Structure 1
Amino acid sequence: MTQPPHDEPTASSPQELREQVERTRTELGKTVEVLAAKADVKARAQEKATEVREQAAAKAGELREKAVDLVHQAQERLPDPVKDKAAQAAEQARTKASQAGRMWQDKAPEPVRQKTTQGAQLARDNRKTLLTAASAAVAVWLVCRRRKA
């Protein structure tokens, strides 16, 4: 027979022996679970991917807020005629986008239309950010064009 561990006294009764065996089984089960979790590379990779995805989403939100702030600052510095031109250009862009959307709806296959609908919904949900960015881009373009002339 094997020798008992040095740190545990031998059992004096069969009941104590059963309790020691049960404790050992429980400890061994926990150890096996820990080792199995460490060996499950796929699960660990998924956990890491989720963590990185959450960090990226948080960083994207911060950058989006910073971009919106910068656009607002740039818009405040523009003269009124440039702001008016930017508003007109944004309205024309909306009209052209609407026309293109109707034509796309008529000719695109169903799976593509579904994905497009999802993207359009996302754009509608972030309309203010998109319009701000578009008007700032038009304003910068007009300022640059005016400087060249």
Structure 2
Amino acid sequence: MTQDKPHTGDEATPATDEPRAQVEATREELGETVEALAAKADVKTRAEEKTAQAQAQLRDKASHVVHVVQDKTPEPVREKAGQGLQAARANRAPLLAAAGALIALLLIRRSRKHR
């Protein structure tokens, strides 16, 4: 004969274990769905991520273009460009003054044409 164990009420029966497991799985799925929707709704963060990605792509393209131009530019031209850059850095104040004067002259001429 079999002895029956006394029922304490703490043991989970197979009939109640399955629905509980389903409820727990559904809760986890719902939590993941809510997190995904919250991430999609965060427009500012998504825009910042896309902006950072675009900046990185632009930097990569610019670097590539610089290398291509350097490779294709003849050595004498590169030397002259380097000398011009050094001269501009050494004489910033006069160069900026000349650029300002040129811009002022162009603005004056433009305003006289519109009268």
Instruction: Give the TM-score band, short-chain normalised.
Output: 0.5 to 0.7
Pair 23,90 (structure 1): closer, same or farther in 2 beyond 3 Å: same
Identity of aligned residues (%): 38
Q: Identify the residue that residue 54 of structure 2 maps to in structure 1.
A: 52
Q: CA deviation at 1:98?
A: 4.4
Q: Identify the residue that residue 90 of structure 1 maps to in structure 2.
A: 83
Pair 24,51 (structure 1): closer, same or farther in 2 beyond 3 Å: same
For residues 1-149 of structure 1, what are the structure 2 equivalents within 5 Å? 13-72=15-74, 75=76, 86=80, 90=83, 94=86, 97-98=89-90
* TM-score, normalised via structure 1 length: 0.43
> Based on CA coordinates, which of the two structures has the bigger radius of gyration?
2
* TM-score, normalised via structure 2 length: 0.54
Give ranges in structure 1 of 5+ residues lacking alignment. 1-11, 77-82, 102-149
Q: CA deviation at 1:96?
A: 7.3
1:80-100 per-position Cα deviation (integer Å, ceiling 9, x unaligned): xxx7xx49x929x74774476
Give ranges in structure 2 of 5+ residues lacking alignment. 1-13, 94-115
2:23 and 2:17 map into 1 onto residues whose CA distance is 10
2:92 and 2:18 map into 1 onto residues whose CA distance is 81
Pair 96,35 (structure 1): closer, same or farther in 2 beyond 3 Å: closer
Amino acid corresponding to residue 90 of structure 1 in structure 2 = Q
